[in-house]
Structure 1
């Protein structure tokens, strides 16, 4: 298992614009990709995503881990399968969480 390339901060709707501005204007991170509900910033060798979540009342941090066999890794971790959190499109893996509740995308790295 190894660190992935993405970290996401899930932000309530009413805090999203000021959070994006904070990382862009005050921290000085370069915008890598801007979508309707998500802005990705260069963050070292990773992408820091600030995601707008309309029905969320608090901020959450979600991380990504890579493993060649995400299902076996999920079993090794003894973590819950939380695949209902968000659809996984074109991704081989699972949503899970650590004991503190941090959401983890445990997936196979896509080459190419």
Structure 2
């Protein structure tokens, strides 16, 4: 166990275009989650202490969940993950130049953003 990583607050759901509007309506109208938009074009919902972001992903055929992990030192965490054999997949979605974070995948192919909290 390492103290280098801890759970973040963001959960991203990448949804194919043919399911996007129905998914937004499900969380907003059926479930009744409070909607907010501060990272357009993604739609955000309050999910307890977390934020659920729903992104339209036209290139996908099925929905995926992406999770967030925080670290106080990305370089240290990245070295730990590499030493542990964790696969980096930074090409999955571009991040801003100089961003203190990156993308990894779990053995079950769940995408995780690992970042310093102030990086976003």
Q: If the length of structure 2 is used for normalisation, what is the TM-score?
A: 0.84
Q: CA deviation at 1:58?
A: 1.1
Matched, 1:87 2:94: yes
Aligned with 1:9: secondary structure? strand
Deviations along 1:17-74, one digit per CA (max 9) or x if unpaired, are 00000000011100121633x2110111111011100111011100000001223223
Output the aligned Cα RMSD: 1.6
**Distance in 2 between the 1:75 and 1:60 partners?**
26
Moved more, 96-105 or 66-75: 66-75
Q: How many residues align?
A: 110
1:58-91 deviations in whole A, cap 9, x for unaligned?
Answer: 1110000000122322332331111111111263
Stretch moving more, 8-17 or 85-94:
85-94
Counterpart of 2:46 in 1: which secondary structure?
A: strand
Give the direction of change, closer, same or farther, for the CA distance of 1:81–1:71 in structure 2 (3 Å limit).
farther
Which of 58, 77, 80 lines up with 1:76 in the alignment? 80
TM-score by length of 1: 0.90
The match for 1:96 is 104
Q: What's the counterpart of residue 41 of structure 1?
A: 45
Structure 1 gaps of 5+ residues are: none
SS at match of 1:110: helix
Higher helix share: 2
Partner of 2:13: 9
